[in-house]
Copies of this chain bind each other. A is one copy, B any other.
Amino acid sequence: MNRRAEVLAAAEALLEAEGAEALTMRRLGAALGMQAPSLYKHVRSKDDIEAGLQERALRGLAEALPGGGDLPALAQAYRGWALAHPRLYELATGRPLRRDRLAEGVEAAAAAPIVGAAGGDEHTARALWALAHGLVTLELAGRFPPDADLDATWRAALARFPLA
């Protein structure tokens, strides 16, 4: 693990443990036993760190998603990963994707299981992705009533996409 990867791993741990506002160069440096300016030897900027976390999130999500085309299983894995890494998911999806800094194939690998479950139709795939993303972000942001039965909401939502 090179130094940049170490910084990114520590950044993810700090983010997930203490929240986005705790992810500062000074705190991250402290977690790694160095001063904040030293981080710039391993990483271009804080923006660069966030782009790296986006890539880590995409890789983690792609690894967690099953590829068999079973929509309920896919949805459960998607929701499960997001709820297990809520702040990373939010950081990775809540801002523009830095495609220029993304390794080749990472975005496609995360998208492939969704396209597969959509039977290859791009519009259906985007609708499924938007539906899952919307449900997850609204859940993470506490937008649904506290007593909402979200399992039932997911089932009702997925029932709109039979076979596909």
Q: Which residues of A contact B (CB under 8 A)?
A: 93-97, 121-124, 126-127, 129-135, 137-138, 141-144, 148-149, 152-153, 155-157, 160-161
Q: Contact check: which of B93, B124, B143 meets A93 at CB < 8 Å?
A: B143
For this chain, the copies found in one complex come to 2
Given known A133-B138, A137-B133, contact A160–B97 (CB-CB < 8 A): no
Chain B residue numbers with a CB within 8 Å of A135 are 126-127, 130, 134
Q: Chain A interface mostly helix, strand, loop or mixed?
A: helix
Least Cβ distance of A127 to chain B in Å?
A: 4
Q: A123-B152, A152-B123, A157-B127 are in contact. Are A137 and B138 (CB under 8 A)?
A: no
Specify which chain B residues have a CB less than 8 angstroms from the CB of A157 in the assembled complex.
123, 126-127, 130-131
Instruction: Tell me the minimal C-beta distance from A43 to chain B in angstroms.
Output: 20
Contacts of A93 in B (CB 8 A): 137, 141, 143
Q: B130 touching A138 by the CB < 8 A rule?
A: yes
Give Cα distance in the complex from A14 to B161, angstroms.
41
